[in-house]
Amino acid sequence: MQKSGFIALIGRPNTGKSTLMNRICGKKIAIVSHIPQTTRNTIKGIYTKDDCQAVFLDTPGLHESARAYNKILNKQAEGAIEEADMVLYLLDISRPFGKEEEVILEMLKKQKKPIHVAYNKVDIKDNHVVQNSMIYKEKLKELPQVKEHYISALKDHNVDEMVEDLCAELPEHPFLYPEDMTTDQALEFLVSETIREKAMLSVHKEIPHSIQVEVQDIDDETNPKVVHVYADLLVERESQKGILIGKGGSMLVKIGKKAREELEGMFGRKVYLELSVKVQKGWKVGR
C-alpha cells in the first residue's frame, strides 16, 4: 500500500530548510521552490522511495520585523499548514529562541496535524547549543504532541531516519506524482505547459491542439540572477509555423512575453526565454 502526502516545512530563515531539502530530495531543487504547484502553496521538493512519497511544501521565512508584511507571510505559512498532512518544523539550535519562533508556536497550537520537530545543526558543538536546545525543548511543551529529531542537514546526520519516521505517518494514498518524476522533470513539465498555454491562447483559433513544446534547457547556474530557458515550439505543418511566428515575428514575441512574465513569477527571478518554432511531422505519434 502506497503512502503519500504533503509535509509543510516551516522554520525561520537560515535554519537550514534549503540544505535539508537538497539532502532529502537530491541536488538542484532550489529552483523549484518558487513554483506554485498546489492550490495555494509552493512545492519545495518531492521525495519518493519504495512505497512512500513525501511532497514538501515551502513556507515563507517568518520575519519578526515589518509587521504588516509579517501578517501576509504568516497567512501564507498558515495556508501551507492547512493544505499539508503534517508539519516539519525546523529549528536552528545554534541560535537562541526568537520572536519568530513564538509566531510559529502560536500557529502550530491552533491545528491538530502531526508535528515533527527537527533540531538542526547538531554538528555544532558549544555551550550555547546545549542551552538553546533546552529552551526550545521547554517551549515546545506548549504543543500537544510532537516527535523530535536531532539532525544535521549539512553533515547528513540522522536525516534518513527522520524521513522514514515522516513516511510512516503519511496517509495511505496512491502517489501524487509519477514515481520516476525527478524535480527537474517536474520543472521542465511546468515550464513547457506554461509556454504551451500561452501559445495556445494566442493562436487557438488558427492552430487548435497542434502545438507541442520541447524544453531544451533550463539554465539557472550560469547566471544566478537570471534563469535561461530554451524551448522549441513544435508544429506539424509549415503553414502553422508561419502563424506562430507571425508578421515580422510579432506573434512569437507576444507568446514569449506572456510566457516569460509567468515564468518570472514562478521562479521569482528574471527569465530569459529563447523560443524557436520547428516543424516536426507527426510529433503526436509515439508521445
Angle at 119 between CA 117 and CA 123, to 5 degrees: 155
Return the closest-CA partner of residue 166 out of 94, 241, 89, 107: 89
Amino acid type, 250: S
Q: What is the DSSP letter of 247?
A: G
Check binding of 34 to ligand GDP (CB under 6 A).
no
Check binding of 120 to ligand GDP (CB under 6 A).
yes
Check binding of 256 to ligand GDP (CB under 6 A).
no
Using CB under 5 A as the criterion, what x/- string covers residues 15-54 for binding Mg ion? ---x------------------------------------
Check binding of 133 to Mg ion (CB under 5 A).
no
Check binding of 59 to ligand GDP (CB under 6 A).
no
Check binding of 121 to ligand GDP (CB under 6 A).
yes
Check binding of 30 to ligand GDP (CB under 6 A).
no
Question: Interface with ligand GDP by CB under 6 A: which range of 13-21, 68-76, 207-215, 247-255?
Answer: 13-21
Nearer CB in complex with ligand GDP: 149/198: 149
Write down the residue that cell numbers 509579517 correspond to. 70
CA distance 252 to 161: 50
Question: Interface with ligand GDP by CB under 6 A: which range of 16-24, 79-87, 214-222, 241-249?
Answer: 16-24
Nearer CB in complex with ligand GDP: 15/212: 15
SS3 of residue 9 by DSSP: strand
Q: Over the Cα atoms of the chain, what is R_g?
A: 22
Q: Which of residues 123-142 bind ligand GDP (CB under 6 A)?
A: 123-124
SS3 of residue 242 by DSSP: helix
Nearer CB in complex with ligand GDP: 6/89: 89
Check binding of 153 to ligand GDP (CB under 6 A).
yes
Nearer CB in complex with ligand GDP: 124/215: 124
- Three cell numbers, residue 115: 508535528
The per-residue DSSP string of 165-206 comes to HHHHHSPB---SS-TT--HHHHHHHHHHHHHHHHHHHHHTTT
SS3 of residue 65 by DSSP: coil
Nearer CB in complex with ligand GDP: 17/116: 17
Q: What is the DSSP letter of 99?
A: H
Q: What is the DSSP letter of 18?
A: H
48 binds, among Mg ion, ligand GDP, none (CB under 5 to 8 A by kind): none
User: Where on the chain is the footprint of Mg ion (CB under 5 A)?
Assistant: 18
User: Where on the chain is the footprint of ligand GDP (CB under 6 A)?
Assistant: 11, 13-19, 120-121, 123-124, 152-155
